[in-house]
Structure 1
């Protein structure tokens, strides 16, 4: 099995309906899940300084590491996710 990182984008204030959808998705992919990581406050650091990153539609709000046979299989799991703005799938390079 290969490992993939699903990067979750977008934030909106959670409602009970949104939370129920996320809970259902986490349960549905539980057997494929290696780790779930939620993100909150962020800061971007550049050569010009630093700035706080507000939570909004463009925010990275977390990631889920899963196992799957292929990118297509990982995408199929990601498509079931109740993402807010988008979800990106990356294969994790083996070392």
Structure 2
């Protein structure tokens, strides 16, 4: 099986405490539904800085990262099917799915 990174972008801008609790419940149910495919549940991330050849910006780029998860699947298409079920998408976010490349270090 290949490992895939789910890179979360965007998502809800603000939620009431009740909406946040409901969203977290959906998130946990989705994670549980993935079972052993989840290698690392990951975590959300805060506001980022982007380092580039022109210096450092405080905006996180054109599509800032909001979190990540690592899963394993037989193919990228199978990983995409997992990502499509995420409540992050229902909340207006997007998920970038990319294979994790094994490299000897």
TM-score computed with the length of structure 1 as normaliser:
0.81
Question: Matches of 2:78 and 2:94 in 1, distance apart?
Answer: 17
Question: Matches of 1:46 and 1:90 in 2, distance apart?
Answer: 22
- For structure 2, the 5+ residue unaligned runs are none
The match for 2:101 is 93
The CA RMSD over aligned residues, in Å, is: 1.8
Deviations 1:19-75 (A, max 9, x none): 111111111113111112221131122344333337xxx431111110101111111
TM-score computed with the length of structure 2 as normaliser:
0.74
Q: Is the 8 A contact 1:7 1:64 kept in 2?
A: yes
Residue-pair matches, total: 92
User: Greater share of helix residues, 1 or 2?
Assistant: 2
Runs of 4+ in 1 over 4 A off after TM superposition: none
User: Greater share of strand residues, 1 or 2?
Assistant: 1
